């Protein structure tokens, strides 16, 4: 039986097509425990202070494969040599990233976080998307390595921890929201009026270098996605890309993403408001002593 009651909650959700993952952890008043007479003792992490009552950690999912299939790409999305988990799949490097993040959080908050996983202490939820779920699994493998009685197989330094999938990608859900679509149309038009010439110039350059026939913002987005995915995996890019990548393409891609998903307070409130509402509700419950378990 644990010596003190405690609660830790983890939530993961998808933000959008190109930037699509966050992990939220609510870790509340955790104390080191003993099980079957065995004490789990180790040095506290540098952030596991006596005054700490709650942790919130937010992260993107790990690296993914490209989500478009572009002909003439040096790293075709259907080539398993480069993308063994396919289009949009969590890459080998992405898996390591999320595992290492879990290890890092453990090192920072060890002593505040219990060394053992208990169902009553920790709740994980995820957007219903493969790479998001898998990122969460890798993260928790690093956060809660099994020890003591939880080391159920000495050949596998891992233990199963449930993840509950509670929602679709918020950007997909908002495709049926007239108010959000109205705002997106407004700000994407502004983006087009402001940056259309810049995007067209880059697309023409890419077409001249590759023989492709990319057009408009869609073509720009497809090529940028391929370049950033390959670059993030450590693959060498053709020399011609240096003229347009990482800049100015990355800066323009960021502005385009904002225009589509976060250009106004209304868009932000509709896209991320429910998540922040849930987070604030948990924090307020903790402050008022009504969180169960606490």
**What is the C-alpha to C-alpha distance for residues 51 and 30, in angstroms, rounded to an integer?**
12
Q: Give per-10-residue mean pLDDT for the chain (294 aa).
A: 33 33 42 36 84 79 95 93 97 97 94 86 81 94 93 91 81 90 97 97 97 95 97 97 98 96 96 88 86 64
> Can you give the pLDDT at residue 71?
87
Superfamily of domain 51-167: Phosphoglycerate mutase-like (3.40.50.1240)
Give the burial class of 199: count Cβ atoms within 10 A of its Cβ; 0-12 exposed, 13-18 middle, 19 or more buried: buried
> Can you give the pLDDT at residue 66?
97
> Can you give the pLDDT at residue 293?
56
**For the chain, which residues make up each domain, given as ranges?**
51-167, 174-271
> Can you give the pLDDT at residue 126?
82
């Amino acid at each position: 039986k644990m010596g003190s009651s405690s609660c830790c909650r983890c939530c993961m959700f998808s933000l959008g097509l190109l930037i699509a993952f966050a992990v939220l952890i609510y870790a509340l008043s955790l104390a080191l425990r003993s099980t079957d007479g065995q004490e789990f003792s180790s040095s506290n992490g540098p952030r596991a202070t006596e005054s700490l009552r709650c942790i919130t950690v937010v992260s993107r999912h790990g690296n993914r494969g490209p989500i478009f299939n572009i002909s003439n790409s040096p790293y075709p999305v259907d080539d398993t040599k480069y993308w063994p988990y396919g289009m949009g799949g969590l890459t080998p490097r992405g898996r390591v990233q999320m595992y290492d993040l879990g290890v890092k959080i453990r090192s920072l908050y060890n002593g505040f976080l219990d060394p053992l996983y208990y169902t009553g202490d920790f709740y994980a939820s995820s957007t219903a998307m493969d790479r998001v779920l898998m990122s969460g699994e890798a993260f928790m493998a690093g956060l809660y390595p099994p020890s003591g009685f939880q080391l159920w197989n000495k050949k596998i330094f891992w233990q199963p921890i449930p993840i509950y999938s509670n929602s679709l990608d918020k950007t997909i859900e908002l495709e049926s929201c007239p108010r959000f679509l109205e705002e997106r149309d407004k700000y994407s038009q502004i983006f087009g009026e402001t940056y259309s010439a810049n995007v067209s110039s880059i697309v023409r350059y890419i077409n001249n270098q590759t023989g492709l026939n990319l057009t408009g913002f869609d073509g720009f987005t497809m090529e940028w996605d391929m370049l950033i995915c390959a670059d993030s995996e450590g693959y060498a890019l053709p020399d011609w890309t240096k003229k347009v990548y990482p800049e100015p393409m990355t800066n323009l891609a960021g502005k385009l993403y904002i225009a589509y998903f976060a250009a106004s307070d209304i868009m932000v409130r509709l896209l991320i408001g429910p998540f922040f509402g849930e987070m604030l509700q948990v924090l307020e419950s903790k402050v008022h002593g009504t969180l169960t378990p606490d």
